[in-house]
Amino acid sequence: MRRQTHDINALREALDKANAQVAALEVSRITGPRIEFLKALEELLKQNVNDSDKKFRKFVVSSWGGFLVAAAVLVYALKKEKVVIPVDKPYITLSGTKASSTILVWSDGKDLLDSPTLTVFASDFVCRFLTIQNKFGKGGQAVAVRVAGDNAAFYGCVITSYQDTLLDDDGNHYFKNCYIEGATDFICGNASSLYERCHLHSLSPKNGSITAQKRTSATEKSGFIFLGCKLTGSGLTFLGRPWGAYSRVVFAYSFFSDVVAPQGWNEWRDPSRKDTVYYGEYKCYGPGADRKQRVQWSKQLSDEEATVFLSKDFIGGKEWLRPAPSHFKNAPKSNPT
């Protein structure tokens, strides 16, 4: 359903108001027990009520040179003993000065939904210059970040695990200048997401997959778009395999190292999906971008076909992406490599 114009204008006004009314909780140089960050986050969640004049207020937890660590014994009154942003707490921003010194870490390989180090159910969430890790390693679904709220944005973040690193679950999402690392389906889910200038690093020795997108019908708008990204790693990996029968993934203007398998894509042991998936490449380059051995059911997109995937319009970004608050603009970019 098309959103009414006056609703879009109201949303833009609300987000402008939010940026102008930032309430920051600062966590500085945590060197002893690292519960302070989680206490600050809990207090932030208590404050962020979803009514009256506070409805559109944006809240910030920040660490200036700090080191944020979440471990079971240290988590303070947070659901499932992990960092969870609940659905009724929108407009939260978590920020550090740089990803290399602002870290959330967990170790859990139970399953897809119970393992995440950070889970976001709320809308209008922003994460900047943080490292989020799941250090479980091989042998289980070990999600570092699950994003299930609408209108979420990640800037300069480092997200690492081995399997199912980023559960990009549902909603419109934007990732810029992020480093994402894993081996098996390490960007998965059914969101509509744009990844701009991100670095994707594969740890798979062979037959891994960067994406497992879950679109289930031809009319669904979801899909993963990678614009101006860099793909590196060791061994060989596929660009994607279909979690859903109508899986949709496009890489454009991206550098492929020789980590990309010559076939490019995999049907995940279901040949029928060759007829329904939408896997495209557009003006990619590097040793892994040679399409001579690509599977025939993937697409080399024309200029006309690619147009719809080359801007923030794919995620409705003009409606909800806003400029960063002034106190974030000079923060350095993450440099994980």
Q: What is the CATH number of the domain that holds 57?
A: 2.160.20.10
Looking at the structure, tell me whether residues 149 and 12 fall in a common domain: yes
Q: Which two tokens stand for residue 10?
A: 């109201």
* pLDDT attached to residue 42: 73
88 is catalytic: no
Looking at the structure, tell me whether residues 152 and 238 fall in a common domain: no
Looking at the structure, tell me whether residues 79 and 2 fall in a common domain: yes
Q: Spell out a b/e string for 70-83, using b for 16 or more CB atoms within 10 Å of the CB, else e.
A: beeeebeebeebbb
d(CA 237, CA 140): 19
Residue 116 lies in a domain: yes
The domain of 92 spans 1-133+141-157
185 is catalytic: yes
Looking at the structure, tell me whether residues 145 and 216 fall in a common domain: no
Report the phi/psi class of residue 91: left, alpha or beta, with left for phi > 0 and alpha for psi in -120 to 50.
left
Residue 217 lies in a domain: yes
d(CA 181, CA 163): 9
Looking at the structure, tell me whether residues 125 and 260 fall in a common domain: no
Looking at the structure, tell me whether residues 112 and 257 fall in a common domain: no
Looking at the structure, tell me whether residues 190 and 247 fall in a common domain: yes
* pLDDT attached to residue 37: 66
Residue 337 lies in a domain: no
* pLDDT attached to residue 29: 46
pLDDT in tens, 113-129: 999 999 999 999 999 98
Q: How many domains does the chain have?
A: 2
Looking at the structure, tell me whether residues 152 and 263 fall in a common domain: no
Residue 20 lies in a domain: yes
Residue 168 lies in a domain: no
Report the DSSP pairing between strands 166-168 and 184-189: parallel
Length of the chain (residues): 337
Looking at the structure, tell me whether residues 59 and 127 fall in a common domain: yes
C-alpha distances in Å from residue 251, one per residue of 60, 86, 282: 33, 32, 6
Specify the pTM: 0.86
* pLDDT attached to residue 225: 99
Looking at the structure, tell me whether residues 86 and 188 fall in a common domain: no
Looking at the structure, tell me whether residues 187 and 152 fall in a common domain: no
One digit per residue, the tens of pLDDT, for the chain of length 337 reads 334 444 666 666 666 666 666 666 665 544 444 556 667 777 777 766 554 444 456 667 766 555 554 332 233 333 335 789 999 888 888 888 778 877 888 889 988 999 999 999 999 999 998 889 999 999 889 999 999 999 999 999 999 999 999 999 999 999 999 999 999 999 999 999 999 999 999 999 888 999 999 999 999 999 999 999 999 999 999 999 999 999 999 999 999 999 999 999 999 999 999 999 999 999 999 999 999 999 999 999 999 999 999 999 999 999 999 876 554 544 444 444 4
DSSP string, 119-146: EE-SSS-EEES-EEEE---SSS---SEE
Beta-carbon contacts of 53 under 8 Å, excluding residues fewer than 6 positions away, are: none
- Among candidate residues 164, 168, 169, 170, the one labeled active-site is 164
d(CA 124, CA 172): 10
Strand-by-strand arrangement of the 158-160 sheet: 103-106, 131-134, 158-160, 179-182, 199-202, 230-233, 255-256
DSSP string, 35-53: THHHHHHHHHHHH--SSGG
Residue 269 lies in a domain: yes
Residue 256 lies in a domain: yes
Residue 151 lies in a domain: yes
Looking at the structure, tell me whether residues 14 and 148 fall in a common domain: yes
Q: Could you tell me the sign of the dihedral formed by the alpha carbons of 287, 203, 155, 193, in that order? A: positive
